[in-house]
């Protein structure tokens, strides 16, 4: 199993499993498989913009992050890759955080992205076979 990257919804599902039912169970199973295989689990700092909004849920998000999820910064190279794939997919800046997540996977040399938005992420990753999209 390659690096596992959590997008915003995957992180939110893990933070609120009782509210998310089957999606939460699938996300937890992916994390368990990653742990068994010693696969790193990561997310982008950009994901926290959507996931952490000062609500009570922030504590739950922090709990998930503290379980070994590395938060990767968005550097200039990642931003440029995100801009390029947004353009290639003909998507606008409303998909910028999704593009940053995919760009992060590309810059890592490939990854498994866990998401509840497989359509947009698949579109962004269409020219990158090392980036696999795992729907919840």
Q: 47 is written with which tokens?
A: 């994901």
Cα separation, 24 vs 12, whole angstroms? 9
Q: What is the pLDDT of residue 16?
A: 86
Residue span of the structural domain in which 71 resides: 4-135
User: CATH code at 116?
Assistant: 3.40.50.1010
Q: Is pLDDT of 1 > 70?
A: no
Write out pLDDT tens, residues 72-126: 999 999 999 999 999 999 999 999 999 999 999 999 999 999 999 899 999 999 9
Are 74 and 46 contacting, i.e. CB atoms less than 8 angstroms apart? Answer: yes
Q: Is pLDDT of 133 > 70?
A: yes
CB atoms within 10 A of CB 8: 23
Q: 101 is written with which tokens?
A: 């997540």
Which of 18-22, 23-27, 30-34, 39-43 has the lowest average pLDDT? 18-22
Report which secondary-structure segment, H or E, holds 123: helix 118-124
Write out pLDDT tens, residues 35-59: 999 999 999 999 999 998 777 778 9
Residues 124-134 have a mean pLDDT of 97
Q: Please, how many CA atoms are within 13 Å of residue 9, restricted to the half-sphere of its CB?
A: 15
Total tally of structural domains belonging to the chain: 1
Tell me which residue has tokens 């959590």.
6
Q: What is the pLDDT of residue 81?
A: 98
Cα separation, 20 vs 14, whole angstroms? 8
Torsion angle of C-alpha atoms 68, 71, 77, 80, degrees rounded to 10: 120
Which of 5-14, 17-26, 29-38, 126-135 has the lowest average pLDDT? 17-26
Strand partners, 97: none
């Amino acid at each position: 199993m390659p690096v596992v990257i959590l997008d915003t919804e995957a992180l939110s599902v893990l933070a609120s499993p009782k509210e998310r039912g089957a999606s939460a169970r699938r996300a937890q199973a992916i994390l368990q498989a990653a742990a068994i295989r010693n696969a790193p689990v990561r997310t982008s700092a950009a994901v926290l913009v959507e996931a952490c909004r000062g609500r009570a849920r922030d504590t739950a998000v922090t709990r998930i992050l503290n379980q070994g999820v590395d938060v990767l910064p968005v550097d200039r190279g990642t931003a440029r890759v995100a801009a390029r794939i947004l353009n290639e997919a003909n998507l606008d800046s409303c998909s910028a955080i999704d593009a940053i997540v995919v760009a992060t996977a590309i810059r890592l040399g490939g990854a498994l992205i866990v998401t509840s938005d497989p359509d947009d992420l698949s579109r962004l990753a269409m020219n990158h076979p090392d980036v696999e999209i795992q729907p919840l």
